[in-house]
Amino acid sequence: MTERYDDQNIFAKILRGEIPSKTVLETEHSLAFHDISEQAPVHVLVIPKGRYISYDHFALSASEAEIVDYTRAIGEVCKMMGVQPGEGGGFRMISNAGEAGIQEVPHLHVHILGGRRLGRMLPRAD
Ligand code: AMP
């Protein structure tokens, strides 16, 4: 991890209560809230409360308690939002990282998208 965590990023401000968010779930180590610019009927972001920039950073540096809490929070959000697979349901989880991954907010977040057929995973060219 060469990048430094930026305490002024927008999700750090949400965690400090400096700007509002529409909370879906809060646990000891995680927070889930609706994306401000939803791209599907269900579009929830799940973030750890710790200062982690990206998924690889979190996976290599977080405590086991944080990892378990975050993973379970993601599962819980899928359940709460009714996007579990089965009977035509399902979801996509995306976590963009870094410049090539086109990550806008440098605090780890997983997008949970669902509520409609989501199309191909990636456009064919960029
Ligand atoms: P990414 O490109 O993966 O870094 O995605 C960042 C996401 O954060 C985008 O989908 C934005 O719509 C979303 N976002 C930015 N600001 C806010 C905010 N204040 N509350 C909720 N979602 C936000």
Over residues 38-77, the pLDDT tens digits come to 999 999 999 999 999 999 999 999 999 999 999 999 999 9
**Ligand 1 close to Cβ of residue 9 (< 6 A):** no
Terminal-to-terminal C-alpha distance of the chain: 27
**Ligand 1 close to Cβ of residue 27 (< 6 A):** no
**92 neighbors 85 (Cβ within 8 angstroms):** no
Ligand 1 center to 51 CA (angstroms): 17
**Ligand 1 close to Cβ of residue 96 (< 6 A):** yes
Q: Is 109 a catalytic residue?
A: yes
Over residues 109-123, the pLDDT tens digits come to 999 999 999 998 887
Q: Is 112 exposed, middle or buried (0-12, 13-18, 19+ CB in 10 A)?
A: buried
The span from the CA of 32 to the CA of 47, in Å, is 6
Which pairing describes strands 110-114 and 23-26: parallel, antiparallel, or unpaired?
A: unpaired
Q: Where does 10-114 sit in CATH, by number?
A: 3.30.428.10
Q: Residue 49 is encoded by which pair of tokens?
A: 């409360």
**Ligand 1 close to Cβ of residue 105 (< 6 A):** yes
Over residues 11-30, the pLDDT tens digits come to 999 999 999 999 999 999 99
Ligand 1 center to 72 CA (angstroms): 21
